[in-house]
Structure formats: C-alpha cells, structure tokens
A and B are shown apart, each in its own frame.
Chain A
Amino acid sequence: MYLDTTIILIAMVVAFVLSSIFLKSAEISMIIAASVGILFGVAHGWTSSFSRVFVEGLFTNLDIALLFVTASFFVNFYSESGAITTLTRKLVSKSNNKWVLLSAMAIFMLIPGAITGAGSISVFVLGSMVAMIARAMGLSEKKTAAFVFTFAILSAAAPPVNLWAMMIASGSDMPYVGFTTPLLVPILIVGALSIIYFGWGSKPKDTAEILKNLPDASKDIAWWRIILPPAVLLGVFLVSYYLPFNIPVIGLPLTFVIACIVAIICNPNKLSPKECWNIMDKTMEQIFPLIATVLSVGVLQNAMSATGVKGLIGITFITLPLVWIYISILFIAPLLQGSLNYGSAVVFGAPLIFLFNTMGYNLTIIASAMSLIFPIGDCLPPSRITGRLSCEVVGYEGSYGSFLKAVLVPCLILAAVALVMMVFPDKFAFLVL
C-alpha cells in the first residue's frame, strides 16, 4: 500500500506541476491532479466511480463558496453607497497617528473573524477600508496586503470561534472550554509585534493629501446609512452567538444576504434592478476564481482520501520522532492547510492530541498552539484562499511570491510563539482559566 499510494502522490504532484506550468491555472491544475489520483484509484479498484468521487468533492466546500459569494455581494453593495470611503475619510480626519490607526484597524479586523471563525470574512467586510487607511499610513501596497492577511488569519484563530481548535477538540472528545486566554494572549502578542513590523519606518501621508487622494465621499450620506448595514451584520452575528435558542439557525450566507438588503435600502442613491444586476454580475466575475479554488480544493481533498494519499501524509508525519514533529509541524501543518483547509486539523489534530496525552501534557495549550499554526497555510498553495483574497481586496498586483515574502516575518513570529507553547505546554497552563 505504501508503494501504491506513494506512486499516486508523485503522479498527482507531477500532474499539478505540469498543469500549472502549461495551463497557468492553479484551479484547473488541482482538478487535473485530483482526476489523475481518482483514475489511479479506479485502476486499483479502490473506487468504482470516478464521477461520484469527483462530484462529491465539489460539494465539500460548497458552504464556503456560498459564504464568499454572499459576503462579496454585501461588500460591493455597501461600497456602492460610498459608505466605506466616507468612513475612511472620517477616521483619517479624526487622527493621523499611524500607531493609533493601525492598531484600530488591527482590532477591527480581529472582530468578524473571531466571531465567525473565518478570516476571509474579516477581509471581505473590512479589507478595503483597512487597505485605504494602511496606505494612508505609508504602508506599501505589498505591506498593506500582508497587513490585511496577517490580521485575517489572526482573527480566524482568535476566540471565541477558532474552528481548528474546535475540530481538534471535537476529534479528541475535549470540551471546547478554557481556550479563550490561551488563544487570545498569543494573538495579542503576535498582533502587537506585527503592527510594529508593518508600521516601522513608514511615513503617514499628510491628512489633506490623504483626503485628496481618497475617492469623493457621497455628499448626502447620513451616518445611519453608513452604520446600519455593518451594525445589522454584527447584530445578527451576536444574536446568533449569544441567543442561539431564541432564533432559528440563520447561517453565515443568509446573514450576509440580510446585511446586503439593508445596504441596498440604506444607499442614498436608489439602485434600479438593472444596477443591482450589474453589481451582482461584477461581483460574480470578481469572485469566480476564488469559488473555483475552494471547489477544486474539495475535489483534491476527496481524491486524496479515496486514494489513501491523505493517510500516507498523516502516518508519515505522526510517526516521526518527537523532535522532528516539533520541527516539521511548522511546515507540514501549513502545507496541509493549503490543500485540505480545515481537514488538516482533523488529519493531524486528533492523533497528535492523543500522542501528547500519553506524555501528560496540558492538551488545551497543545490544541491552542496547533490551531495557531494551521492558519499560516491560508497563504500557501494550492488553495491560498485568504492570501489571494487579501491581494485581490487590496488590489495588490505584484507577484504572489513577493506577497509571501511580506507575510513571512509575522508568520514566523506566530509559528515561533505556537512552537514555544507546544514544546513547553505546562509552562503556559496558567492561561487555561
């Protein structure tokens, strides 16, 4: 079985690399790599249906795709009213202190992801505004994209909802209790260091110049029109979270649809059905590559499961000597996150928790530390969802490699903090309240 699955893994990697070179599309390359894997599985008699494994894979991340579509609708309809520009103008007019503004943007970015568990939500909801202010504070386009990405992944890892920690806890029958401080403290430390890293040496532009360079704010847009759509969004999040037994399950896509309708109503310029259609059409054009990514990642996940490639990677990793687990988790966990998304926490999380359990370590700290490492992979291929999204929202047109270089330092800081927690979990046990 080792030989067969290794051959399939190599075949899938070769197919992916060759397709990437010739077709220049990560999504199509993933689909081709997955198809090669499934065909090998069919040839071995491991699966009888190419079509079922393929199509089932497309449904794996359908909810995430729907979330991206509806969140994008909300952001584009909200932007259409001029609310984001007006809000940015007001913020810059109030203060031009880069540390204050960057810290405020960082905290804003943490909130949506912390509540929903998805860093992409932070990028969708606040990315464009944060980008405008970060640029105004003198950050380059590359650093701006890196700033948005860094706080997006920190928001996904932040409590109360950290999906990696929840999945690790679920797989190992640990209650998701006591995670707040072990997650919050490292995130605040890494966040503070990241703000210093990004802001160091940058020179904020003059307020008048910033305002001049911002698009014209809508003249008659009232505060309530600016506040109401995000307030409704936040309100529905909070009601869903704190009063779950008093309202039906709404789900994130519908939450964004509701906020989107509010944004349309609050727009001072009444939109005609044709204008609405055009915005939706433009949004779908914008979002299509990302949707293709999450759907093709699902097919790849299914192919890796069907052929045992997922198991091969998992068993190779967890049977390493402990010191190599500590070293390699910094690379393998993010890389797995890049291909399996939250599935990475399921493949690695539970077996490692049981391994550390036999050593008598504090498992809440271990699970928290692991859940800080996985999000780093959100900028890595093949999926690189949050990374790409950050570049797109910010409008960064440089190479993706240069973006990766820009996020390297914050990611290394995050990885280092997580590694220290993993190696010395009992020293941090005091954080578990």
Chain B
Amino acid sequence: MSEKLNNNITVKLICFIIAAILAIVAGIQFYDHRTYKETVVVSDSFTEKKMLSDYVPSLKNTMADTPVFFFDSGVEGGTVLYLGGTHPYEPAASLSAFVMMENINVEKGRVIIIPQANRSATTLGMLGNAYPQYYHVDTEWGSVKYKIGDRWAHPLDSWPDPFTYRHYPSGLQLTYQDLRNVNRCYPGREDGAPIERVCYAIMEIIRNEKVDLAIDSHEAAVMYPVVETYVAHERALDIAMMAAMNLSATKFYMKCEASPTNLRGLSHREWGDFSDTLAILMETPQPFTDWIVGPMTEELQTIGADEFLGTAMEHGLTYVEYDKNVGCPMKLRVGRHLSGAAEAIDWTNASFPEKEVVVNWPSYEELMEHDCGYFLHDPAKADTDKIFEI
C-alpha cells in the first residue's frame, strides 16, 4: 500500500516537473513574441508620429494602441491612408507598409501609414494552427526578424468573447471571435470592445485627417475566390477597375470586385459608408492561410511552395495560377501591394486632380529583382530620430 502510494506520488511529481519545464520553456517563447518589437527606419519624408489613442484616448497604454505615421510633403494635395497589419497572419501587408515607410518620397499631398492596425494580434499565433512565431528577411547587413500574428486580437487584450458577435450598428451576426477582428468591426464604437475602439479610431483618422483614398492591404488563401483582387466601395469602383486593368496589362494579374452591401464591418464597406473617403481593399495570394496546406513552417509563410496546394491546383480548386515549386514568395506579395497601392493613387489623381498625391516607393519590378531586404535600412547606421520600434 505504502509502496503504491509512493509510486503514485513519484508519477505525479514527474508529471509536474515535465509540465513545469514545458510551461517555462513555452512561456519564455510566448513572452518573447508578446513583447518583441519590429524596427523601422523611416524615410526623409517622415513628418510626425501619432498614436491611435490620440483619436480615442481610452486606447492609451493598451496593446491595441498602435502608431500612425505621417509623411507630409507640405505641398497642398490629397491625403492617402495605407493600412497594414489588419490581419497579422498576413504579414506581407505589414511588410509592404514597412518597405513603404523606409523608402517613401512624397512630393505632393501626404500619406498616412498604419503598419500594425491590429497590434494586439501581432503578439500570438492562431491557436490550434501551430504557426511559427517569426519570419526573417535577409538584408546585406543581416537578417531582420518580423512577427507572424493572428487574425484576431490576443484574448489577453480582449476577453471574454460573446457567444455570438453582433456587428454595430447593423446588428448582423458574425462568429464570436470576430469581435477581435479589425476587418469586421468597422465603423466601430468609441466605448465598445478594444477592437471596436481601434476601428472607431481609424474611422476618426479618416474623417478628421480628411483622407481622400484609404487602402487596406490583406493577403488571401489561393483557394479563396477574392484573391489577386481589389475590393472597392462603389465610389472607388471606377478607380479600382482602371487600376486592375492597367496592372493586369502591364505588371501582374489583378481583378476588381464591388464591395457587397450585405457584408458588414469590413473596411471597403464601412469606410466608404461612414466617411467621404474612397475605400479600397487589396488581396495578394498567400498559401500560408489556405485550409489544406502541409506543415506550418516559416518557409510556407515566406515562400509558400506547397505540394497539397499543387494538387488542389491540378483539381481546379485554386483561384490563382499556382506553381507548387515556386509558391508565392514574399517579394511577389509585397511588390504586388506596393504597385497595387501606387496604381490606385495614380488613378485617383487622374479622376480627382484636386486630390492629387505625388508619391513614389519601390515597385513590383524592383521587389522582384532585389527582394524585400534590399529596401530595408540598417538601424545601426540611421539617425536615431528615424528609428521606431513598434
């Protein structure tokens, strides 16, 4: 009896020690991911940094608060907003914002960039999906580490979830975790849940800063029909259509869809309905977020070559021409966003000369030639007032 009791205690003790070791090792990695800051060296066009909490003070000192970068030429013109990191598990959106911020040259009007719209969601991976925590971009001066996040804000920052999420103000029902999804909470509520407040703050930026063209960058699964696509509010539809046609003729295939009126909470719908801005969302192909891919590795995120998706392609189940040996590398996705945004600005300029914004940043062709790291600057050699940790 006593021997059995001792064995029992020994087993429990061993289990406890194993659990403690696992918890400590994993805890260190979770803490690192939660607190890791991405570094950006902004270009000479940078003029001012604000925070979302400047627009909705209740966000101050929360993980949902995120920086807003202004690049103002000082020459009267239009205003463009570029949003990255709405869904941090689509990292080409954030990386395109970083490349933009490091290389942007604004000659007329101004550009506002929010590289991590859902900052809280950058601090964990999607539970049950075993995401790698980081991906790396090689540069001439070393490897730069960026986070792979989630679609939804971290539960530590917004918990509990309701059993069903009702979108404000339409009352439309959405899945419970979409209360933590930036692209389901627009136009937001000033006194709502954290992400509803983030969305309200972004709407306030659009309204108060009189944003003429607002672009929300995303990535989409290759088995998702709305991939390689602009989705535009009806007032921006002509611009997006012209941009898509021109891109398809000169650079890469891009299609255009009208924002559905019955799907609520999304940027391309609510930005346009609740402000005067021209609202456009862009999607690049990203195998990592497909439903039936192989192991969740950093390479799947940065290169995206996947045999299972190749089979899906052979069965006609993908919505892009997918080569399982090539994938959809990060440089392609970032390049598509950079040229996609530039094309939309060009067509806005053509349609509304009074809102002209003259701006340039690296193009799709340059990204394909040099890759992303070529356009990132070494913080060790940069002016300290140009370096920001986010």
Contacts and interface: CB of A to CB of B under 8 A. Distances in A.
A173 interface: yes
Contact of B163 (A116, A303, A343): A116
Interface in A53-79: 53-57, 59-60, 63
Question: Mostly helix, strand, loop or mixed at chain A's interface?
Answer: helix
A355 interface: yes
Interface in A123-165: 160-161, 163
B146 to A, nearest CB: 16
Question: Number of contact residues on A: which range applies?
Answer: 35 or more
B160 A302 contact: no
Contact of A254 (B128, B160, B260, B295): B160
A63 B161 CA distance: 9
B317 A56 contact: no
B162 A249 contact: yes
A245 B189 contact: yes
A166 B315 contact: no
B173 interface: yes
Interface stretch (B2-10, B22-30, B359-367): B22-30
A44 interface: yes
A152 to B, nearest CB: 16
A252 interface: yes
Interface string A328-358: 0000000000001001001110110011011
A56 B125 contact: yes
Given A46-B297, A240-B162, A302-B129, A51 B173 contact: no
A96 to B, nearest CB: 36
Question: Mostly helix, strand, loop or mixed at chain B's interface?
Answer: loop
Contacts of B25: 49, 51-52
A23 B169 CA distance: 53
Task: Give the one of A167, A249, A254, A306 with max B CB within 10 A.
Answer: A249
A318 to B, nearest CB: 7
Task: Give the one of A52, A303, A305 with max B CB within 10 A.
Answer: A52
B164 A166 contact: yes
A118 B176 CA distance: 12
A319 B160 contact: no
Interface stretch (A192-200, A258-266, A307-315, A419-427): A307-315
B317 A244 contact: no
A310 B129 CA distance: 9
Interface residues of B, number: 60
Contact of B166 (A5, A245, A319): A245
Given A5-B295, A56-B125, A47 B132 contact: yes
Interface string A107-120: 00000000111100
Contacts of A298: 127-128
A253 interface: yes
Given A312-B308, A351-B223, A354-B224, A303 B130 contact: yes
Nearest to B25: A51
A177 B170 CA distance: 12
A250 B161 CA distance: 8
A2 interface: yes
A250 B295 CA distance: 37
Interface stretch (B52-60, B203-211, B233-241, B286-294): B286-294
B314 to A, nearest CB: 8
Contacts of A307: 295
A166 B173 contact: yes
A32 B128 CA distance: 17
Contacts of B21: 51
A53 B169 CA distance: 38
A41 interface: yes
B29 A52 contact: yes
B336 interface: no
B175 interface: yes
Contacts of A348: 291
A215 interface: no
A301 interface: yes
Given A310-B292, A311-B294, A315-B311, 19 more contacts: A52-B25, A52-B26, A55-B22, A55-B30, A56-B127, A115-B163, A160-B173, A166-B173, A169-B175, A244-B162, A244-B166, A251-B159, A302-B128, A305-B128, A312-B294, A314-B291, A340-B128, A351-B223, A354-B225
18 contacts: A52-B30, A54-B26, A55-B22, A55-B23, A163-B176, A175-B172, A175-B263, A176-B174, A249-B162, A252-B163, A308-B294, A310-B292, A311-B293, A315-B292, A318-B317, A343-B128, A347-B292, A354-B317
Q: Which 7 A-B pairs have the closest CB atoms?
A: A251-B160, A314-B292, A55-B26, A308-B294, A306-B130, A46-B295, A51-B25
